[in-house]
Structures are given as structure tokens and as C-alpha cells.
Amino acid sequence: MRRAQQALLCLPFRRDFYRQLEQGALSSSQLAGRQDWRSLSRRRLSAGQAEDHFIWLIQLGVLRREVDGQGLTERVRLTPLGRQLLASWPDQRDRANLFTKLWHWCRRHWPRW
């Protein structure tokens, strides 16, 4: 839970991104192609960058892949943990400081560290 909260602070996604996932699924290519990306992310992301962040959030338990009749899709949705984190998200959430971002980066890229 603490790692997931830290990831929400450190990743470039804004609260509206998670609210949108609460309503429906979104793929990395859909996110990269949106004209209103500023409302969803702090910076413009390519489909590959967004997908990398999605995979990390899936590993943390915040997101899950959407399933259709033929199996998993490239679209993601919020998990119950993600909904719980979103519900506890204050209106004005601070961004992570440099130390927290560094610690998050280390945990993400060297998970056994």
C-alpha cells in the first residue's frame, strides 16, 4: 500500500487520469494520442512510456488489464486497491520531493534493493 501511494506521487499521472480509469478502461496508445493529455499527465508520454508506467502500476496492484471475450487486452482499469488509493487522495496532493523520487526509482528498477 505504501509503495503504491509513493508511486502515485512519483509517476507523471494526475488525479484525473485515475478518475478516468475508475470510469472505464484506457490503453497506452489512446493516452498518447489524446489532445487533452495535460489534464491526465504532467508531461506528454509516448505509448511505450505510458505502457512502462502501466506495467509498474499493475505490479503494484493499482491497475489491471481489461479482459474481453478473447482474453487480456492492452487496456487497463483500476483495481480495488487503486480505487481505495483514489478515495483517500486529498484534493491537492503534493508531488514527491527529490529524495522520494530517487527512492521510488531505485525500488522500481532494483526491486530487491
Q: Convert the pLDDT of each residue in 3-17 to its tens digit.
A: 888 888 888 999 899
**Pick from 75, 66, 83: which is nearest to 18 by CA?**
83
Q: What would the pLDDT profile of 41-58 be if each residue is shown by its tens digit?
A: 999 999 999 999 999 999
Which CATH architecture fits 2-109?
Orthogonal Bundle (1.10)
What is the pLDDT, as a whole number, of residue 25? 93
Q: How far apart are CA 98 and CA 96, in angstroms?
A: 7
pLDDT tops 80 at residue 92: no
User: How is the chain split into domains, by residue range?
Assistant: 2-109
Instruction: Reduce the DSSP state of residue 64 to 3 states and report it.
Output: strand
State the average pLDDT over residues 67-94: 83
Amino acid at 8: L
